[in-house]
A and B are shown apart, each in its own frame.
Chain A
């Protein structure tokens, strides 16, 4: 088990490096391949009607005139120990972890992301609890009562839930119930939850529909397995057969999908945040795009990618805890 964990962690670190390299390449290598000059690239990092001196300073600060491998080294170093931008009229320091510095607004990106993570996390975590509990419960009941009225209705609703786009259900909910603002959990837990309930439910409807269908399919498959027959042949009560022997196997593939879905949501539930005007990660990315502030976009991209890598690592560890064949092979 220990060897397995070490292997997975090592792989995750490696993956983080690859992710950072790819992100770096997208922002610094691709434009060059696309024929941009160093000056035009640097110009993107400053405001409109740029001053040539400012552009030159940004070029120096970003090291655009350096060889690519040095640039990447500085980029990674910035994330780990922070970076100093010493050129130009007013030198600045970008503290570790430096996920970019906006020369347009003269702000560090990471603190802004940190401000927004609780919003996105509250949204994602609350919705996740809702959709896992309701999705799995509905899926199991549907599978056990296959073909019943309950099964037909819940699968019909699930199909609708999967098909309805977030911006539609979100807007309907908004029109019906109105909207509350995000209140930090530490300030007032009750209000925090009360104002999040609507976005949670809206988001959960989409996912729980999917999870109900997946759970149902998984349960139908595992309940036909030979070891289920063995469990019954032992004389186990049907509830124990279903939960201990059936559900545990059926949930394994769900863990993978859940890790992915949750990680993607942490990267920003863009539409949900927009509809309910929550200032989360997704909104921040949108802002970066509309303001053409590349460091913002890159910062969110990196952080979101890191979330995915970390969630995948957690999924691997949970997998090993569930299935002995994984940790022992």
Chain B
């Protein structure tokens, strides 16, 4: 199952969730810092069961970055909140396995997971203004994050907080320590959020659309900062975004999500240059590029994301897929495609044959990008 890492046994990977997870291997050899196995997050609503995340698996090594890409409602954020154990709704049904540094989290007690949160794994959010408490100073919020997990006095914690503010590039950290979130600019707020997330040296950082709410000029700075800090601390990073441009800069591996499932996964290079799923093609086609002719229009993915209560039969993408009729026997409407190995560590869930996809990619899609 751990396709990204276990390149030597690709034959074992056919269907997610059907193959027993090699958890002992991944946990014991210490290579994978985070392993997610067949993660399902469902919500019991009055309208029916919402399958927000429906069987997602991936692995992440220390020091590496995994980009999770998809449209709104594809399950990216739900996945990350699931890893952090932040689904507090009583209606959330979570199953599967999450291995963090050899420890399984879904079966672990809430108190154990709370102790790991902010300590071993930390998270930054999309909108730093609403994610910071308006009534407490930036410094106080960082100190709080530090002192939950460390028995240090206030003075030491303050010193640490100022250190972190300085490290994330906030000028005059001594003075800004006292300031409140509304006195910070958007970029500075996100820097403060990063300082708060990293104050305990977590080995896993989950960034949920960290640049979406920021100015374009600031976005690059924040991404650079995350990359620098990752190098410095050697932590694993999960970068969640709908912006392929963001992950192109920063991710080692990519996971493309659609309707709560992983539809393509592999190294960033492979997914960018040899994408194997029509949805990934669509994402690439709708990405603005500076080297593209100005007269050419972006090609959006037609239609809108499906309801997660009534996920389309067969391949969830078939109603929007221009190539839904390429495979024979209407199979795209009747049978759900499972992830299949394309090449080294590169997987895709599409009914089309390798030849069909290669032909469409090289003849129809690639020339237009």
Quick check: is A325 within 8 A (CB to CB) of the other chain? yes
Count contacts on B: residues with CB < 8 A to the other chain: 30
B134 touches A323 (CB 8 A): yes
Within 8 A of A (CB), among B112-133: 114-119, 122-123, 125, 127, 130-133
Min CB–CB distance B192 → chain A (angstroms): 11
Q: Is A226 an interface residue (CB 8 A)?
A: yes
A236–B144 CA distance with the chains assembled, in angstroms: 9
> B135 touches which one: A229, A236, A324 (CB < 8 A)?
A324
The reply to whether B131 and A235 contact each other, CB–CB distance below 8 Å, is: no
Residue of A nearest to B146 (CB): A234
Q: A-facing mask of B186-229, CB < 8 A → 1, else 0?
A: 00000001001100000000000000000000000000000000
A7 proximal to B (CB < 8 A): no
Known: A229-B86, A325-B180. A235 touches B132 (CB 8 A): no
Q: A234-B148, A236-B148 are in contact. Are A248 and B135 (CB under 8 A)?
A: yes
On whether the beta carbons of A230 and B135 are closer than 8 Å, the reply is no
Given the known inter-chain contacts A226-B127, A328-B180, A328-B183, please indicate yes or no for A234 contacting B135, CB distance below 8 A: no
- For A231, list chain B residues within 8 Å (CB): 133
- Report the separation of the CA atoms of residues A237 and B130 in the bound assembly, to the nearest whole angstrom: 20
In the complex, are the beta carbons of A324 and B118 less than 8 A apart?
Answer: no
Residues of A within 8 A of B133 (CB): 227, 230-231, 245, 249
A232 interface residue, CB < 8 Å from B? yes
What's the Cα separation between A324 and B137 when bound, in Å?
9
Complex Cα–Cα for A236 and B113 (A): 11
| A225 at the binding interface (Cβ < 8 Å) | yes
Residues in A with CB closer than 8 Å to B134 are: 227, 249, 323-325
Could you say which of A232, A234, A328 contacts B144, with CB atoms under 8 Å apart?
Answer: A234
Once the chains bind, are A230 and B117 in contact (CB under 8 Å)?
no
Interface pair A227/B132, CB less than 8 Å apart: yes
The answer to whether B123 touches A235, judged by C-beta atoms less than 8 angstroms apart, is: no
Q: Is B182 an interface residue (CB 8 A)?
A: yes
> Is the pair A233, B182 in contact by a Cβ cutoff of 8 Å?
no
* Chain A interface, number of residues (Cβ within 8 angstroms): 21
Q: Which of B131, B182, B197 has the most CB of A within 10 A?
A: B131
Q: Is the CB of B118 within 8 A of A234?
A: yes
Pick from B117, B135, B137, B193: contact of A235, CB below 8 A.
B117
Residue A322 at the chain B interface, CB threshold 8 Å: yes
Please give, as numbers and ranges, the residues of chain A lying within 8 Å of B9 by CB-CB distance: none
Q: Are A232 and B88 in contact (CB under 8 A)?
A: yes
Closest CB of chain A to B84's CB: distance in Å? 6
The answer to whether B149 touches A235 (Cβ under 8 A) is yes
Contacts of A232 in B (CB 8 A): 86, 88, 114, 117
Determine the chain A residues whose CB is within 8 A of the CB of B193 once the complex forms.
Answer: 230
Give the one of A226, A232, A233 with max B CB within 10 A: A233
Q: Distance in Å from the Cβ of A147 to the closest Cβ of chain B? A: 9
Task: List residues 167-201 of chain A with CB under 8 A from any CB of chain B.
Answer: none
Q: Which residue of B lies closest to A227 (CB)?
A: B133
Fill in one digit per residue for A218-259: 1 if any B CB lies within 8 Å of its CB, else 0.
000000011101111111111000000100110000000000
A325 proximity list for chain B (CB < 8 A): 134, 180, 182
A229 with B116: in contact, given A324-B180, A325-B180, A328-B183 (CB under 8 Å)? no
Residues 200-229 of chain A, each 1 if its beta carbon lies under 8 Å from chain B, else 0: 000000000000000000000000011101
Cα of A249 to Cα of B130 in the assembled complex, Å: 13
- CB of B131 within 8 A of CB of A237, answer no
Find out whether the CB atom of B144 lies under 8 angstroms from the CB atom of A235. Answer: no
Chain B residues contacting A238 (CB-CB under 8 Å) are 114
Contact string against A for B residues 144-171, beta-carbon threshold 8 Å, 1 for contact and 0 otherwise: 1100110000000000000000000000
By a CB distance below 8 angstroms, the chain B residues around A227 are 130-134
CB-nearest residue of chain A to B111: A237
Are A235's CB and B127's CB within 8 A? no
With A226-B127, A230-B125, A233-B122 known, 10 other A-B pairs at CB within 8 A are A229-B86, A230-B131, A233-B117, A233-B197, A236-B114, A236-B144, A238-B114, A249-B133, A323-B134, A328-B183
Give 5 CB contacts A-B under 8 Å: A227-B131, A227-B132, A233-B125, A235-B116, A328-B183
